[in-house]
Amino acid sequence: MNDLLIRIDKQNKVIGFETKEKCHYCPGILHRAFSIFIFNAKNELLLQKRSSKKLLWPEVWSNSCCSHPKNDEDLILTASKRLNEELGFSCKLKYLGSLYYQANFKNFGCEHEITHIYSGKYEGIVKPNSDEVIQTKWIKLDDLQKEITENPESFTPWLKLILKKYGKNNFFSSG
């Protein structure tokens, strides 16, 4: 059951479970996810460039960490574990809210999620898991917005949507 994604309705109520592959092939099955935004003391966001092994949006910049919760675990616990698995560190996470979205990738894949958004602060060494991440960088949100405007295809759709919805005031007021 841990390898199955949590199927939900638009009110975020669990309606079943499905394989990751079936959830991510067009037209997509609505499922639960999480997205983590980690900032340093200079209020720079940690970005990751997704691995070339990813089915959807490979070698594209995204937020610090994102994945899918496990059915038998608390959402924030799963998010914390995944942060450590992908980037080699953990920190306190604060829940900011959620976002419903659907985005297509090429002619075969898609995301159809309600993603739960967390933020955290971290100072220290980042040790990316090479199966998940090919590069990381810290960036000011104003500089990131400029890069997104100049090269929107270089960034995941959920990163752009979350930044638009939450903006830097909400991230930085989250502590």
For 45-81, write each residue's pLDDT tens digit. Answer: 999 999 999 989 999 999 999 999 977 778 999 999 9
Neighbours of 115 (CB within 10 A): 23
Distance between CA atoms of residues 144 and 39, nearest Å: 13
Asked about 132 being catalytic, the answer comes back as no
* E strand segments, 122-170: 133-140
pLDDT of residue 94: 95
Q: What residue ranges do the domains of the chain occupy? A: 4-172
Report the mean per-residue pLDDT for the chain.
Answer: 92
Please tell me whether residue 115 adopts helix, strand or coil conformation. Answer: strand
Residue 173 reports pLDDT greater than 90: no
Distance between CA atoms of residues 144 and 162, nearest Å: 13
- Core vs surface per residue 68-98: b (16+ CB within 10 A) or e: bbbeeeebbebbbebbeebbebebebeebeb
* Active-site position among 23, 65, 86, 113: 113
Per-residue pLDDT, averaged over 105-114, amounts to 93
Distance between CA atoms of residues 159 and 51, nearest Å: 16
Distance between CA atoms of residues 99 and 80, nearest Å: 19
Structure confidence at residue 2 as a pLDDT band (50, 70, 90) = low
The reported pTM is: 0.93
Cα separation values, 54 from 13, 73, 122, 158, 164, Å:
28, 24, 26, 15, 24
Distance between CA atoms of residues 104 and 110, nearest Å: 4
pLDDT of residue 71: 79
Residue 174 reports pLDDT greater than 50: no
- Residue listed under structure tokens 């914390």: 80
Say yes or no: domain 4-172 is CATH 3.90.79.10.
Answer: yes
Asked about 21 being catalytic, the answer comes back as no
Q: What is the pLDDT of residues 132-165, one digit of tens each?
A: 999 999 999 999 999 999 999 999 999 999 999 9
Residue 167 reports pLDDT greater than 80: no
Decide if 10 contacts 99 (C-beta within 8 A): no
- Which residues does residue 140 pair with via DSSP β-bridges, in sequence order? 44
- Residue listed under structure tokens 């099955």: 29
Per the model's pLDDT, the better-predicted residue between 51 and 172 turns out to be: 51
* Active-site position among 65, 66, 86, 110: 66
Residue 170 reports pLDDT greater than 80: no
Decide if 63 contacts 35 (C-beta within 8 A): yes
**What percent of the chain clears pLDDT 90, i.e. is strictly above it?**
86
